[in-house]
Structure 1
Amino acid sequence: MGFPISDVLTDESIVCEFTCKICCNLVEYGHAVHTHCSHVFCESCLADWVARSSDPEVLAEAAMNGEPARGPRCPTCNAGLAGEGKVAPLQTQPLAWRLLGRVQVRCPLHDSTSCGWRGDLSEVSAHLTNSESHLKGQDYAPSNATQNAEALKNQGNAKFQSHAYREAIQLYSKAISAAPGVASYYGNRAAAWLMVGAAEKCAEDCRRSIQLDSGYVKGYVRLAKALVELSDIDGAEESLRNASTRCPGKKEIEEELARVRLLSAHLAEGERALDANEPARALEMYAAAARVTQCTAVTLGAARAEIALGRCDGAMRTTGAVIRAEPGNVRAYAARGHALCLKLDFDQGMKHIREGLRLDPDHAECAGLFRRMKRAGAALDRGRTASGKRDFQAACEAFTDALEAAKAPTHSPFTASVLAQRANARLRLREYDFALADCAAAIASQEDHKPAYFTQATALLHLGKPQEAEESLAVLLKMDPGDETVRRHHEKAAFEVRKSKRPDYYAILGISRVASVPEVKQAYKARCMEWHPDRHANSSDEERATAERNFKLLGEALEIMEDQMKRQLYDEGFDKEAIAERVEAARRAAHRGGYGNGHGCGSGGGCGSGGCH
C-alpha cells in the first residue's frame, strides 16, 4: 500500500513512472522495488503478488486448465520474476531514487487534521513524527487530540500493511502521545514491535493496553506471543488462562491457548527425552516445536539434542546465533562451549563455559559441564604428552580417563578421536585385539575417521590378516578417492595381500634363505626327480595334477632364485608378476642408457612403493 495519489502534487508525467500497478498509489518511499523489466512497485504489494502467484491452489488450478507452471510474473509486462537479480530495491537505481524522494506531496492527514504542510515525499515520515512540523504542536491540544491521534494511527496502520514496521512504530507512538488512554494504540504498536523482534517492548505495550481495557482480546493474544518469543512459555499459558476467564468464549484466545499448550508439551517431551538419553526423540520434539515458534527455548533445545547426537557443527551455528541475539544467555554459552570441546577445541570451549559461569556462577548445568570438560581436556593433554614420550601404557590410561570424564556422545568427534589415539597406543604396546576394538568403536562413532582406519589396518597386518586390512582401507578410499595418504596405505595393504598369496619358493626348493646359487640348482635337481610328471604317469589323476603343479612351481622357483635381481625383489615381498614388471622396466631403462645401479629396485616394496601392480 503506497502513498495516496490524491495527495501527490508533482506533475503526473513524472509520478506515473513511480505508480505501483498493484495498489495504484505512489510507491512507498524507502520500501520500493524495481524489476529487471524496469517496473516499479511497493515492496509489500509485489511480495503479496508473488505469494499469491506461487500459491499451490493457484498452481493446481493452472495445471487443471492446461497452463504451464511458470512461476511469479511481473504484473505489468508478464515477464518472469523467478531467479536472483530479478527484483531489487529502488535504492540500487540512484537517479530514480532521488527523483522519487523529490516528488512533492502534501500531508496525508490533511483531510482529518487540516495540516497545511507540503514537501518532498522523502520528508513525510519526519513531518508526521515532528511536533513542530505537523500542525506546529496543535495535535496535542485537547480539542483535537483524539481526531489527530486517530489519523496518526490510521497512517501507522498503512505503514504496517506496507511492512514498514519501524515507521509504523513512530506513528503509533505519536498517536499515543496525542491520546495516551487508548488501548488499541498500544496494541497496534505492540504488533509492530513483535514484527521487528522486540518482544520485550511488545509485552510492555500489551500489558499497558490490558490495563486500559481489560476486555482487549488482541492485547492478551499478543502478550502471549511476546512471552513465547521470550521463551516464557509458562507465563504465556498463565496469561491466556486469565484472559479466557476475563473474556470467555473468545475464539482468538482459545486458539492461542491451544497453540501454547501444544508448544509446552513438545518442550516438556524434548527435555524428558534428553534426560532419558534419547536425543533423536528429543530432536523430533524440538522440530515439532519449531513449527510453532523459533524462540530461544526451542532453538537451544534442538542444539542440545544435536550435541547429544554428536552433530556439533549445527549446534555451534545455532548457539552462536543465540549468543549474538542474547549476549546474556547462559545456556547458550554452555551449549556452545560443550560443542566446541567435543570438536576438540578446548581453548574456545572452556572460554565459553567460563563466560556462562561469569554470567551466573550458580548455574548448575554450566558448573557441571565446566568440571567435566576441564578434567577431560587435562587427561587428553596427558595422553598426548605420554604418547610423545613413548610411554604408551600411561597414554592408554590417560585417554581412558578422558573418555570417562567427558561422557561424550557416542558419535561425537571427541569420542572418535580419543578412541583412535588410545588404539594407536595399544598398537604400540602390541595389544592388537584391544587396538582393533578401539578402532571399530571409533569408526562406528565417525565412519570417515581416517586415523582409526590406518591403525586398524596396521593391527590387522601385524595379526597376519592383510586381506581384511585391504578391505577396510578400500572402504575409506571409496569415501575419499583423492586422498594421497589413504591411497598409500591402501597400496601397502594390497601389496601385503599379494605377498601373502605368493608361493614360498624357499620351502618348495627346500633351501634356506642364505642358500647360494649352486645350492639352489642342486636342490632344484633333487626336487625335480621327485616331482617329474614321468615318475607319476601311473598315479591317480589327483596325484598327477599335484605333481604337474609342483613341477611347474619348481621351474618358477629356479627362475627367481638363480637371478640376483629377481631374488632380491622376491625377498622384498614382490610376487612373480610384479617382479616381471620391474625387471622389464629395468631392461628398458638399461636399453636407454639411464640405468646405473644394476636394477634400481631399492627397498621400497614394503610401504606404498607403487610397484606391486
Structure 2
Amino acid sequence: MGFPLADVLASEDSGVVEEFQCKICQDLVEYTKCSHTICAHVFCAGCLHDWLARCGDQDVQNDAAAHGVNPNPPRCPTCNTPLASDDVSTLKDASPLAWRLLGRVRVRCPLHASGCAWRGDLSEVSSHLTNSGTHLAGRDYAPESGKANAEALKDQGNAKFQARQYQEAIQLYSKAISAAPGVASYYGNRAAAWLHCGAAKECADDCRRAIALDPGYVKGYLRLAKALCEQSDVAAAEESLRVASLKCPGKKELEEEHARVRALAGYLASGADALAREEYALALEIYAAAMGATQCAAATLGAARAETGLGRCDRALRLSLQVIRAEPSNVHAYAVRGHALCLKTDFDQGMKHLKESLRLDPDHREAQSLHRRMKRAGAALDRGRQAAAKRDFTTAVESFTDALAAADAPVSSPLTAASLAERANAHLRLKAYDDALRDCGAAIESQEDYKPAYYTMSTALLNTGRPTEAKEVLEKLLEMDPADETTRRHHEKAAFEVKKAARPDYYAILGVSSVASVPEIKQAYKQRCMEWHPDRHASGTEEERAAAEKNFKSLGEALEIMDDQMKRQLYDEGYDKEAINERVEAAKRAAHRGGGGGGCGGGGGCGSGHC
C-alpha cells in the first residue's frame, strides 16, 4: 500500500506524480520502500513482493502445467518483462535522482481529516506524523480529539505494516497509544510489528498489556505464545494458551496454536534426549522439524549442537552466530560457538567465546566443561607442534595423543583430523611407518578431503616400497581437487617411483656394482654376452632360447645406457629408458638451438612430465 493519491497536492508536476504511481495499488509509491525493476518501473516494495510471490507460487505453476500451459516466470505488472530476484532493487540505489524527486512531491497530512493543516514533502511525512510539535500542534493528545486521532494513527500504522515498514509502523502505533492508551488492539498491533522485527521480548510485553486491557483479546494470546516460543520459553507459551482457552473457549485459532506449541515442546524434548544419547543425526532431524515451526534459540542451538556432534562445524558456527546476533547475551550460543571454533582448530577465537559465556554466567556447566577440555587440548596441540619444529618427534607424538584425549572431539571434526595427521607426520619422521599409515587412514576417515593426511600417507607408502599404492592414494585426492598444484607434485613423484620400480636393473643384468667404471662395464658386458648369446642356446628348449634372446637384448640396452655418461646419470636418478631417451633428445634440440643444454636435470628430474 502506497501513499494515497488523494493526499498528493495538485501541481505542475502531475506528470512526475504519474511516473511514481504504483500500478498495483494505484497509489503513490512508498518513499522509504520503493522498488525499481530492471525495466525501469517503480512499485511499492510490499506490493511488488506480494505480486512476485503470487506469480511464483508453486500451486499456480502446477495449475498452469495441469492445463497444458507452460509455467511462466514472474513478470513486471506494467510491461510483462520477466523478472528474476536480482532484477529488482531499491529506487534509491537504482536512480538516486529519481528518488530525490519522489521525496520532493508535495503532499498534505494523511490525517488532515482530524484537523491537521500540515503540508510538506513526501520524504517528511513519517517524521511529521510522529512529531507532536508539528502534527496538530500537540492537539493529538487532547482528550476531545485523542480517540479519533489515535484511530487515524493506527490506520497509518497498519498501512506501514502492510508495506513491511515495521519500524515506522511501531512509531505510529506508539503515537496512537499515547493518544489513547486504553485500547488493547493498539498494543496488539504494535506487538505484531515487534515480532516481525525480531523483538520477541517487546512483543510479549505489549501482548500482556493488551490482554490486561481486554482479557478476551484472542490475538494477544496468540502473539504472546509466538513471542514466548521465540524466547525459547515453550512452557510459558503452553500455559498462556491454556489460560486463553479458559477465557475464550471454543476459539479454533487458539486450539490450533496450542497444538503447534505442544508439538514444538515435544520436538525440543525429543531433540534433547537424542543429544544426551549422542544420536546426533536423529537430533538434527528433530531440531530441523522444530525450526520449521519456530526460529527460537532452543531449536537453533539444538541443531547447532547436533551439527557439532557430527563434526560439521561450519553450519554450527552459522547457526550459533544467528542466535548471538538476535540475542547478544545468550550464554548457550557463546558456548556452542566456542566449542565449534575449537573443533575447527581456531582455539584463540574459541576460547574467547567460551570465556564470554562464563562471564555472562560463571556457573554455566556446559561452558565450564568445554573451557577446561579445550584449554588442555589447545595447549597439547601447541606443545606437539613446537616439539615437531624442534625435531623432537617422540614428544610430538605424545603431545598430539594428549590433544586427542583432552578434546574428546567428534570423529569427523577438523580437530580430530588435524591431530591425527600431525601425529602421523611425527611417526613418519621416526620411521614408524605402520603407525603413520594407521593415523593417516583415521584422519582421512575423519575428513575425506584432508590433504596433509594424503601427503603423509603417500610418503610412508613410498618409504615402505609401495609406490603403486602411493600413486593410487594421490589419484583419489586429485579427483577431489584436480587443480591443486601441491597434490599434483606429490602425484608426479609417486608416478616417478612407480616407473622407477618397474625399470630393469641394468647393474644386476651386467653383474656389476653401481660404482663400476666404463671399462669394467664393457668387460662385464662381453662376459655376459658370451653366456647369453642366442647361438650358444640354439640346441636348447624353446623356453631356454626365448630366455637367452631376452637376456641378450637386455644386455644391449644396459650397455647403451651405461656407456653414455648422461644416460647413466639419468638412470641413476631414477628415469626409465623412455624418459632417458626423451631427455637426451631434448638436450640435443636445445644444443642445436644454441641453448647450451646437455644438462641431465639433476635433482629436479621428477618435475618432468615423463616421471
The interval holding the TM-score normalised by the smaller chain is over 0.9
What residue is the counterpart of 2:27 in the other structure?
A: 25
Change (3 A) 1:137 1:391: closer
1:82-137 Cα deviation digits (max 9, x unpaired):
353444335754444444444444443344x3444444433433343333444444
Alignment-mate amino acid for residue 395 of structure 1:
A
Within 5 Å, give how 1:455-604 maps onto structure 2. 455-592=456-593, 594-595=595-596, 599-601=598-600, 603-604=602-603
Structure 1 SS opposite 2:606? coil
Partners of 1:328 and 1:434 in 2: CA distance: 46
Change (3 A) 1:548 1:54: same
Partners of 1:118 and 1:450 in 2: CA distance: 69
What residue is the counterpart of 1:387 in the other structure?
A: 388
Partners of 1:13 and 1:465 in 2: CA distance: 83
* 218-227 or 117-126, larger mean C-alpha shift: 117-126
Contact 1:531 1:551 in 2 (8 A): yes
Question: How much is the aligned-residue C-alpha RMSD, in angstroms?
Answer: 2.5
Partners of 2:540 and 2:445 in 1: CA distance: 55
Partners of 2:370 and 2:267 in 1: CA distance: 25
What residue is the counterpart of 1:410 in the other structure?
A: 411
Structure 2 SS opposite 1:447? coil
What residue is the counterpart of 2:347 in the other structure?
A: 346
Alignment-mate amino acid for residue 150 of structure 1:
E
Within 5 Å, give how 1:320-469 maps onto structure 2. 320-469=321-470
1:178-206 Cα deviation digits (max 9, x unpaired):
22222111111111111122111110010
Alignment-mate amino acid for residue 606 of structure 2:
G
Partners of 1:201 and 1:32 in 2: CA distance: 28
1:274 pairs with 2:272: no
C-alpha displacement of 1:542:
2.6
C-alpha displacement of 1:437:
0.3
Alignment counterpart, residue 58 of structure 1, candidates 56, 60, 67:
60
* 269-278 or 180-189, larger mean C-alpha shift: 269-278
Within 5 Å, give how 1:27-176 maps onto structure 2. 27-64=29-66, 66-89=68-91, 92-111=94-113, 113-176=114-177
C-alpha displacement of 1:404:
0.6
Contact 2:377 2:403 in 1 (8 A): yes
Partners of 1:260 and 1:372 in 2: CA distance: 37
Contact 1:10 1:103 in 2 (8 A): no
Partners of 2:92 and 2:582 in 1: CA distance: 71
Partners of 1:578 and 1:224 in 2: CA distance: 77
Q: How many residues align?
A: 609
1:495-531 Cα deviation digits (max 9, x unpaired):
1111111122222233333334344334333333333
1:251 pairs with 2:252: yes
1:52-71 Cα deviation digits (max 9, x unpaired):
22222333344455544432
1:314-353 Cα deviation digits (max 9, x unpaired):
3333333432332212222222222222222222221221
Partners of 2:558 and 2:387 in 1: CA distance: 48
TM-score, normalization: structure 2?
0.92
1:263-295 Cα deviation digits (max 9, x unpaired):
222222332232222322222222222211222
Contact 1:489 1:608 in 2 (8 A): no
What residue is the counterpart of 2:319 in the other structure?
A: 318
Partners of 1:41 and 1:525 in 2: CA distance: 97
C-alpha displacement of 1:153:
2.1
Change (3 A) 1:565 1:69: same
1:446-479 Cα deviation digits (max 9, x unpaired):
2222221121111111211111111112222333
1:248-268 Cα deviation digits (max 9, x unpaired):
221111111222222222222
1:514-566 Cα deviation digits (max 9, x unpaired):
33434433433333333333333343333332222222212222323333333
1:187-233 Cα deviation digits (max 9, x unpaired):
11111111122111110010111111222111110001111122222
Partners of 2:283 and 2:465 in 1: CA distance: 45
Partners of 1:25 and 1:474 in 2: CA distance: 65
Partners of 1:211 and 1:391 in 2: CA distance: 73
Partners of 1:119 and 1:558 in 2: CA distance: 103
Change (3 A) 1:526 1:126: closer
Alignment-mate amino acid for residue 29 of structure 2:
V
Partners of 1:141 and 1:114 in 2: CA distance: 13
Partners of 2:162 and 2:607 in 1: CA distance: 72
What residue is the counterpart of 2:8 in the other structure?
A: 8
Structure 1 SS opposite 2:35? strand
* 546-555 or 320-329, larger mean C-alpha shift: 320-329
C-alpha displacement of 1:173:
1.7
Change (3 A) 1:132 1:445: same
Structure 2 SS opposite 1:344? coil
What residue is the counterpart of 2:608 in the other structure?
A: 610
Change (3 A) 1:14 1:429: closer
Question: What is the aligned-residue identity percentage?
Answer: 69
Partners of 2:513 and 2:192 in 1: CA distance: 94
Alignment-mate amino acid for residue 608 of structure 1:
C
Contact 2:91 2:99 in 1 (8 A): no
Alignment-mate amino acid for residue 52 of structure 2:
V
Structure 1 SS opposite 2:86? coil
Q: What runs of 5+ residues in structure 1 fail to find an aligned partner?
A: none
Partners of 2:410 and 2:502 in 1: CA distance: 42
Q: What runs of 5+ residues in structure 2 fail to find an aligned partner?
A: none
Partners of 1:97 and 1:516 in 2: CA distance: 90
Partners of 1:345 and 1:506 in 2: CA distance: 54
C-alpha displacement of 1:236:
1.6
Partners of 1:392 and 1:94 in 2: CA distance: 65
Alignment-mate amino acid for residue 278 of structure 2:
N
1:411-462 Cα deviation digits (max 9, x unpaired):
2221111111111111111111111000111112222222211211111112
Structure 1 SS opposite 2:43? strand
C-alpha displacement of 1:403:
0.6
Partners of 2:124 and 2:462 in 1: CA distance: 81
Partners of 2:322 and 2:266 in 1: CA distance: 25
Change (3 A) 1:458 1:123: closer
* 197-206 or 229-238, larger mean C-alpha shift: 229-238
C-alpha displacement of 1:160:
1.7
C-alpha displacement of 1:585:
3.1
Partners of 2:601 and 2:118 in 1: CA distance: 96
Partners of 2:530 and 2:579 in 1: CA distance: 30
Partners of 2:76 and 2:607 in 1: CA distance: 65
Change (3 A) 1:514 1:16: closer
Partners of 2:436 and 2:52 in 1: CA distance: 60
Change (3 A) 1:16 1:402: same
Structure 2 SS opposite 1:34? strand
Change (3 A) 1:462 1:14: closer
* 190-199 or 98-107, larger mean C-alpha shift: 98-107
Alignment-mate amino acid for residue 610 of structure 1:
S
Partners of 1:206 and 1:176 in 2: CA distance: 13
C-alpha displacement of 1:46:
1.9
* 45-54 or 6-15, larger mean C-alpha shift: 6-15
Contact 2:130 2:172 in 1 (8 A): yes
C-alpha displacement of 1:154:
2.5
What residue is the counterpart of 2:196 in the other structure?
A: 195
